[in-house]
Amino acid sequence: MEGFRRREFLSRSLSLAFVFVLVLTLEVSAEDAREKDRIVALPGQPRNVGFSQFSGYVTVNQNAGRALFYWLIESPGNETASRPLVLWLNGGPGCSSVAYGAVEEVGPFQINPDGKTLHMNPFAWNKLANLLFLESPAGVGFSYSNTTSDLYSAGDQRSAEDAYAFLVNWLERFPQYKHREFYIAGESYAGHYVPQLSRVIFRKNQGIKNPVLNFKGFMVGNAVTDDYHDFIGTFEYWWTHSLISDATYRKLRALCNTGSSQHPSIECERVLDEANKELGNIDPYSIYTPPCNSTSSLRRNLRGRYPWMSRAYDPCTERYSKVYFNNPGVQKAFHANVTGIPYVWDTCSDTVGAYWRDSPLSMLDIYQELIAAGLRVWVYSGDTDAVVPVTATRYSIDALKLPTVISWYPWYDSGKVGGWSQVYKGLTFVSVTGAGHEVPLHRPRQAFILFRSFLQNKPMPR
């Protein structure tokens, strides 16, 4: 009997030792993978930035060979461990979160006009959270697939599934972020990506006592939300801002009823062409600022005459991104383009966007589900965007028929109106005055205040 107990004890000891060695091996391999992704310094980066960066690939589908590229920018110094993790997604569909969110809007670096050097963003969001930028789906930016047909068959559902697979696998490489407060943010067509991924995470977490993705909520800006209300609100915005004629507005309202169809009718497309001609050579994403093809002297003159025009806004930032991210030295520093993708890096993929498979007409049912679950939901809108304008967003929110908690009021930044806000039961809406489609690009300070209020779950300052 005593011999049996000794053998049993020895067997259990060996089993525990094996588990310990296995856990230790996994931790070491995760640390090795993480360190391989560490960015020592980016070409043209300012010195002594005070925070860590990592970038690389996470495989989301072994059979197809789909791998998504990420860039993690942590909070400075000791704040890394106490700050939440925020995933940022840009839309398109087919556009890069690295090109837009990271280096135009909320990241700590912005690209200089030479396309070679970087300068610091004083209102970078990594001062408040650890930022994770994801190029999604495969075929966007540096993300790739070994199955060529994947580039011609992307859609909402697979994008959400792949993004979830990315997060699960990424957390194995960065286990320190397991159970950390986690949020998702994005803009434009990420108005589809963000709520759909949020629902996947919420449903996967059901029944799990302590889920590794400690998901708290999401925030979207100038977001594609509901086709019917988006179109009505967009046409109304064009008309009320004197961008189109009365006759064209009436035709748009009569011929472009998109509430029941994925694609506009031929008649609708014709009148949309008419509207586009009437809009003229403007930047529809920011109707009061000049487009990139204007001269720099014109930009200076306009900014001198119109003090409300943002001095921080440069309409040509996409051009700088294309130069910077196609630099072999930059790609090496990012551990990017490891497969030698047979096309140049671009801010958006025309192929992915043109062949997009599935796109539900509305996200409102997802909003209702996640609001009922008690998740934090914030929606913001720059009020000079004519692509997904503030009127479209307000019509979509109104369709949810949520009770009002705090009525419409102006919010303030240093004594000046920064926009307006209304708090509903389960949703907060914020407008940002003078901001275009990319709110943090046009109004970086006000966007920083917005993000801080979201994380603190406090109403915008009065």
Q: Show which residues are catalytic.
A: 188, 385, 437
Between the alpha carbon of residue 437 and those of residues 283, 288, 346, 442, the distances in Å are 10, 12, 19, 8
The closest of 139, 135, 120, 26 to 72, measured between CA atoms, is: 135
Rounded to whole angstroms, the Cα distance separating 339 from 262 reads 36
Rounded to whole angstroms, the Cα distance separating 199 from 222 reads 20
Residue labelled with tokens 């300052």: 461
In the three-class reduction of DSSP (H, G, I as helix; E, B as strand; rest coil), residue 120 is classed as: strand
With residues binned 3-state (H G I as helix, E B as strand, rest as coil), the percentages for the chain, rounded to 5, are: 45, 20, 40
Backbone angles phi, psi at 395, to 5 degrees: -65, -40
> Please, what's the b/e burial string for 136-175 (b: 16 or more CB within 10 A of its CB; e: otherwise)?
bbbbbbbbbbeeeebbebbbbebbbbbbbbbbeebbebbe
In the three-class reduction of DSSP (H, G, I as helix; E, B as strand; rest coil), residue 73 is classed as: strand
Beta bridge partners of 130: 85
Reported in sequence order, the residue ranges of 188-278 that DSSP labels E, i.e. its strands, are 214-221
Pairing of the two strands 376-382 and 214-221: parallel
Identify residue 329 by its one-letter amino acid code. G
- CA distance between the termini of the chain: 77
Helix (H) or strand (E) holding 182: strand 181-187
Does residue 66 contact residue 150 with C-beta atoms inside 8 Å?
Answer: yes
Helix (H) or strand (E) holding 413: strand 404-413
Does residue 109 contact residue 119 with C-beta atoms inside 8 Å?
Answer: yes
Does residue 148 contact residue 97 with C-beta atoms inside 8 Å?
Answer: no
- The Cβ-side half-sphere exposure at 114, using a 13 Å CA radius, reads 6
The closest of 300, 227, 237 to 258, measured between CA atoms, is: 227
DSSP 255-288: H---SS-SS--HHHHHHHHHHHHHH-SS-TTSTT
